[in-house]
């Protein structure tokens, strides 16, 4: 039942992604078994009392902890360099739990303006109802972060690179500002994974992830995780998660843990391919601009390389032909899947102006930094030449659909 998570921090991330959280179990399987059980029986009433009082270590009920889930939590905590982890039923459950743990009515939150859409909805539509005020700022601008801090600011929430513009924030600088004001820095690390970026080592207090994306990597699970730096924060978060109840089920934990064993290999390939795709698109006549943190043309390229090993698997670009070109390109891709979500082995593409953000209208989209021709691409681990060939043929369709100046047709 126990697992041995005492891995040396000297091991490289590649090695840790294979071995972290894989412990010793009855009958000595090399993979943690799936404990598909809601509850755990006590030998005696005295033992039950000791477990509830915390005098004895062990499992009680799966909302409070489950061995398959604990193995995953240990694995990700080891990779992030945190003290422990809390797996949640989705990335949004992880973000909600973390914010609910550290914010109280009357508190103020400073949040990156370039964040995952549902995170900004959580902040404006849910947290406001509980008396929590938020200021959205461009967290890549360190002075803007300092200017947004108030006496009651308790949390700074940063996503870097931010969705979908891939704007990069300097985590060391932002953590210094947060700490100067007595606030915690929570970092969304979904786009990078702990293989490429370890925010706790850059001053963050808590890391959150959507497990749904790169960590699982196989597009077959929805999940999330919270990794705090200190034991004190872990104990507090565990209590809050136990009350809110948004935990990850054991089978999903098993799948994500299985995915993590190839995380280092996948991230290396995602980054290498995405860089090639980004360079190719940057030279393409149908493309106005490309944002990829691994490109020298990215405004925060230097900051990104200071805090990350490489650019990751996400590329954002702007089509010269606007909404029409985007729609035509989406309908023409054959290999790239036309779907939201990201971070899986398969390449996925999406055009916010004609899909996810179509109902917003152009003005509101522009305010959120979503231009008409903006396309978000999650570069998978296919042969990069096949991905590029698919994009090229879809860009021909985009140029045929729009006769703009500079069109190749
Ligand atoms: C997907 C995602 C989330 C939300 O995760 P779910 O698992 O879909 O709830 C939060 N932040 C970022 C950056 C994401 O990509």
Q: How far is CA 264 from CA 13, 73, 268, 275, 294, in A?
A: 7, 17, 6, 17, 17
- The side-by-side arrangement of strands in the sheet containing 314-319 is 287-291, 314-319, 374-378, 348-350, 337-338
**If you measure from the C-alpha of residue 31 to the centroid of ligand 1, how many angstroms do you get, rounded to a whole number?**
27
Number of domains in the chain: 2
Give a yes or no: residue 399 inside a domain: yes
Q: Ligand 1: which of 88, 90, 92 to mutate, judged by most atoms within 8 Å of the beta carbon?
A: 92
E strands, 255-302, where? 287-291
Q: Which atom of ligand 1 is nearest to the CA of 159?
A: 13
Same domain, residue pair 242 and 293: no
Query: Is residue 125 a contact partner of residue 285, using CB atoms and an 8 Å limit?
Result: no
**If you measure from the C-alpha of residue 208 to the centroid of ligand 1, how many angstroms do you get, rounded to a whole number?**
9
Same domain, residue pair 233 and 290: no
Q: Which of 229, 260, 291 is the last residue of a domain?
A: 260
Same domain, residue pair 240 and 290: no
Query: Is residue 247 a contact partner of residue 284, using CB atoms and an 8 Å limit?
Result: no
Neighbours of 377 (CB within 10 A): 26
Give a yes or no: residue 8 inside a domain: no
**If you measure from the C-alpha of residue 210 to the centroid of ligand 1, how many angstroms do you get, rounded to a whole number?**
5
Rounded Cα distance between 19 and 9, Å, is: 12
What b/e string do you get for 158-190 counting C-beta neighbours within 10 Å, with b at 16 or more? Answer: bbbbbbbbbbbbbbebbbebbeebebbbbbbbb
The residue whose two tokens read 């972290």 is: 20
Q: What pTM value is reported for the model? A: 0.95
Same domain, residue pair 206 and 70: yes
Give a yes or no: residue 340 inside a domain: yes
What residues make up the domain containing 100? 13-260
Ligand 1 binding site (Cβ under 6 Å of any ligand atom) = 90-92, 116, 119, 159, 163, 188, 190-191, 210, 212-213, 222, 224
pLDDT of residue 369: 81
Give a yes or no: residue 5 inside a domain: no
**If you measure from the C-alpha of residue 20 to the centroid of ligand 1, how many angstroms do you get, rounded to a whole number?**
23
Same domain, residue pair 228 and 303: no
Q: Which atom of ligand 1 is nearest to the CA of 92?
A: 9
pLDDT of residue 366: 85
Same domain, residue pair 174 and 204: yes
Rounded Cα distance between 353 and 372, Å, is: 5
Which residues of the chain, if any, have pLDDT below 70? Answer: 1-9, 404-409
Rounded Cα distance between 308 and 173, Å, is: 15
Q: Which of 226, 260, 294 is the last residue of a domain?
A: 260
Same domain, residue pair 314 and 243: no
**If you measure from the C-alpha of residue 256 to the centroid of ligand 1, how many angstroms do you get, rounded to a whole number?**
15
> What residues are paired with 376 via a beta bridge?
316, 350
Q: Which of 242, 260, 278 is the last residue of a domain?
A: 260
pLDDT by residue (tens digit) across 222-243? 999 999 999 999 999 999 999 9
User: Looking at ligand 1, which residue's alpha carbon is closest to its atom 4?
Assistant: 91
pLDDT of residue 1: 30
Query: Is residue 207 a contact partner of residue 233, using CB atoms and an 8 Å limit?
Result: no
Structure tokens of 128?
């406001």
Phi/psi at 311 (5° precision): -80, -15
pLDDT of residue 7: 57
Give a yes or no: residue 282 inside a domain: yes
pLDDT by residue (tens digit) across 145-192? 999 999 999 999 999 999 888 999 999 999 999 999 999 999 999 999
The CATH number of whichever domain residue 213 belongs to comes to 3.40.640.10
Same domain, residue pair 245 and 283: no
């Amino acid at each position: 039942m126990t697992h041995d998570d005492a891995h040396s921090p000297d091991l490289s991330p590649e090695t840790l992604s294979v071995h972290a959280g894989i412990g010793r179990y009855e009958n000595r399987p090399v993979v943690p078994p799936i404990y598909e059980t809601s509850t755990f029986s006590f030998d005696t009433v005295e033992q039950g009392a000791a477990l509830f009082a915390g005098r004895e270590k062990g499992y009680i009920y799966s909302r409070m902890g489950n061995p398959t889930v604990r193995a995953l939590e240990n694995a990700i905590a080891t990779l992030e360099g945190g003290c422990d982890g809390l797996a949640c039923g989705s990335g949004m459950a992880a973000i909600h739990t973390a914010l609910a743990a550290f914010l109280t009515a009357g508190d103020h939150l400073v949040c990156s303006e370039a964040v995952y859409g549902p995170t900004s909805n959580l902040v404006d539509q849910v947290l406001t109802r509980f008396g929590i005020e938020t200021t959205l700022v461009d967290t890549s601008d360190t002075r803007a972060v300092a200017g947004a801090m108030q006496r009651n600011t308790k949390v700074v929430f940063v996503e870097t690179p931010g969705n979908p513009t891939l704007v990069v924030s300097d985590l060391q600088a932002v953590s210094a500002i947060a700490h100067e004001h007595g606030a915690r820095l929570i970092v969304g690390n979904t786009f990078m994974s702990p293989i490429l970026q370890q925010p706790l080592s850059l001053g963050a207090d808590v890391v959150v992830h959507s497990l749904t994306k790169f960590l699982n990597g196989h597009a077959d699970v929805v999940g999330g995780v919270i990794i705090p730096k200190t034991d004190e924060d872990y104990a507090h978060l565990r209590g809050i998660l136990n009350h809110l109840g948004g935990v990850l089920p054991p089978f999903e934990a098993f799948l994500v843990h299985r995915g993590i064993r190839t995380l280092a290999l996948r991230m290396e390939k995602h980054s290498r391919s995405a860089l090639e795709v980004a360079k190719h698109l940057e030279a393409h006549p149908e493309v106005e601009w490309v944002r990829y943190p691994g490109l020298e043309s990215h405004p925060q390229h230097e900051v990104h390389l200071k805090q990350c090993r490489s650019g990751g698997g996400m590329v954002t670009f702007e089509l010269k032909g606007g909404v029409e070109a985007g729609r035509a390109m989406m309908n023409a891709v054959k290999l790239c899947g036309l779907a939201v979500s990201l971070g899986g082995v398969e390449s996925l593409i999406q055009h916010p102006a004609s899909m996810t953000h179509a109902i917003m209208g152009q003005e509101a989209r522009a305010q959120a930094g979503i231009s008409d021709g903006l396309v978000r691409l999650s570069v998978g681990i296919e042969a990069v030449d096949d991905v590029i060939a698919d994009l090229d043929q879809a860009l021909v369709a985009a140029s045929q659909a729009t006769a703009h100046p500079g069109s190749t047709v």
